[in-house]
Structure 1
Amino acid sequence: MARPLRAFRDLAVRSAGAAGAAVLVLALGGAAVPSAPRPPARSTAPAVLGADISYPQCSAPPPAGAAFGVVGLNHGISTTTNPCLQSQLGWAAGTTGGTAQAKVQLYVNTADPAAPAPARLPAGWPTSGATPYGTCTGHATPACAWQFGWGLAGDDVAERFAPAARAAGLPSAASDYTWWLDVEVANTWQADTTQNRAVLEGMTASFAAQGARVGIYSTAKQWGRIVGSTPSTSPLAALPEWLPGATTAIAAESLCMRRPFTGHGRIVLTQYLSTVDGDYSCGG
């Protein structure tokens, strides 16, 4: 997702490790405030460009002139908090608007940290709860994974987001925002794709129970490795999708026509390289 700015370089390529996805970062010189990405030169569409930032941009001025902003809630892993969340939420609230995208959106890290026995279960792993996968009994099972996801999303709202939103003078209810689930191989996942999917389904159910809009950020390759196929009965199957992988705004516009990686969703947002990650609104 959001990457740190690097001075006095034109383009840098970051390997996504096991994901094998290369991300280009355009660097800034000096202390100039980064500007929002320019509209695609060949497009007749209105300016539909936003940006996403998170903890790597804490020490840099946020991009000016963005139409909307997507702010990373966590500090790299799912159980942590972005230390400059409050100020970045304020930046997003001050974006120009005028697109199909809400001005302020969130993305959250996701993970499945519970490996099967004899591995030690992580602190905070649930020990009970009725779920669509049956009853959680405290083991590394889809039922407990679903319960873990439910609790993780609840903590994202109550413990991480709400205090920062109130301090920034913004509504603190989850229902006022879109929440993107960041699904990448850089986070901790298990070989059991059903268990991984259950975590994401639990998070989706938790956000939805609070009236929030939920979407997925991933690629077809990473989604396949982590989740496998997405049954049509899964609540993940028809969620809106945010697709990375472009290096220019024009290329990001063309990504809107890609096939959704769940097979049933719809791509509504795409990401491309700029001074910070730029985002193209597929709906105008």
Structure 2
Amino acid sequence: MANSLLKTVLTVVTTLGLVLLGSGPATAAHSRSSDPVGIDVSWPQCGKTLPKQPAFAIVGVNNGLANTTNPCLASELAWANTAKSPAVTSQPRVALYVNTANPGLQGSWWPTSNTYGGAAVANPYGTCTSAAQDFKACSYMYGYAKAYDDANLRGVSSPASYLWWLDVETGNTWQSDKAANVADLEGMTAYFGSIGAPVGLYSTGFQWGQIAGSVPSSSPLAGLPSWLAGAQSLSGAKSNCSLPGLTPRSIVAVTQYPSGGLDYNFACP
């Protein structure tokens, strides 16, 4: 996530993204101070030696796409559990993040009913069928299904015990219909909520606007905590804590910055 996001977005539109996020010009990554900072990792860090005892750790469940599994998930979760104990920030010691997408009929699989995992799903957008008139109903089911797979098929033990961040970035496949993309993310949120797991949203203000746009205050996404990428230093990450959240009533809980080839995270006060 972070690596693909920062390489794709920050390299191409760094200046634009930072202006839109409200931070200053990009600067060289500074050495980490004594501030307790976390680290997020996923498949790009497979085989790398990672610093022990971060303040908190966030591990990617997928292999870059919403329908894949991180081949290093087990070993990276084992590393994550070296995070400092007891917790030294407002964030849980270990959290997870998942790739998100809404490929529609371009994907290798697309739902044709309101049933998944052997259960009927209450769909606020109506009935998903192979000839659905409302694309949002099937988008909701797609998101629900991917979250179900992440919790049940990727090798995560006790999925309800984690905070799950939804990684929302333009590097994955999305529809031009932003309302359908919102429905997709609502479906993911609904599944995680059904098992009692909290959910947060990861993106930049620019990318979120491209994918989801303005989310209604009545949406289940409203009020979820935001994890913002885009800073280029710890000081920039601290500054980004004062930015607006991605949805109505959302607070910025975590901000990300790169340093020494890894992605570090600051837990906002």
TM-score range relative to shorter protein: 0.7 to 0.9
1:25 to 1:277, Cα distance in 2 relative to 1, 3 A: farther
Q: Which has the higher helix share?
A: 2
Q: Does the aligned pair in 2 maintain the 1:52–1:71 contact within 8 Å? A: yes
Q: Does the aligned pair in 2 maintain the 1:107–1:182 contact within 8 Å? A: yes
- The offset of 1:19, in angstroms, is 7.3
Report what 1:263 is aligned to.
Answer: 248
Per-residue CA distance 1:228-255 (angstroms, 9 max, x = gap): 1100000001100001111111111111
SS in structure 1 of the partner of residue 54 of structure 2 = coil
Q: Could you tell me the TM-score, scaled by structure 2's length?
A: 0.85
SS in structure 2 of the partner of residue 149 of structure 1 = helix
2:4 corresponds to 1:14: no
SS in structure 1 of the partner of residue 199 of structure 2 = strand
- The offset of 1:280, in angstroms, is 0.2
1:242 to 1:55, Cα distance in 2 relative to 1, 3 A: same
Report what 1:9 is aligned to.
Answer: none
Q: 2:232 & 2:27 partners in 1: Cα distance? A: 9
Q: Cα RMSD over matched residues?
A: 2.4
Q: 2:88 & 2:80 partners in 1: Cα distance? A: 13
Which consecutive residues of structure 1, in runs of 5 or more, have no partner in the other structure?
A: 5-12, 28-36, 41-46, 115-119, 163-171
Report what 1:109 is aligned to.
Answer: 99
Q: Does the aligned pair in 2 maintain the 1:179–1:214 contact within 8 Å? A: yes
Report what 2:124 is aligned to.
Answer: 132
The equivalent position to 2:55 in structure 1, one of 58, 67, 82, is 67
The equivalent position to 1:232 in structure 2, one of 217, 220, 238, is 217
Q: Could you tell me the TM-score, scaled by structure 1's length?
A: 0.80
Which aligned pairs between 1:31-70 and structure 2 lie closer than 5 A?
38-39=32-33, 47-70=35-58
Which aligned pairs between 1:1-284 and structure 2 lie closer than 5 A?
1-3=1-3, 14-16=7-9, 20-21=13-14, 38-39=32-33, 47-96=35-84, 97-114=87-104, 120=105, 122-129=107-114, 130-138=122-130, 139=132, 141-162=135-156, 172-275=157-260, 276-283=262-269
Q: Does the aligned pair in 1 maintain the 2:59–2:97 contact within 8 Å? A: yes
Q: 2:7 & 2:3 partners in 1: Cα distance? A: 10
- The offset of 1:121, in angstroms, is 5.0
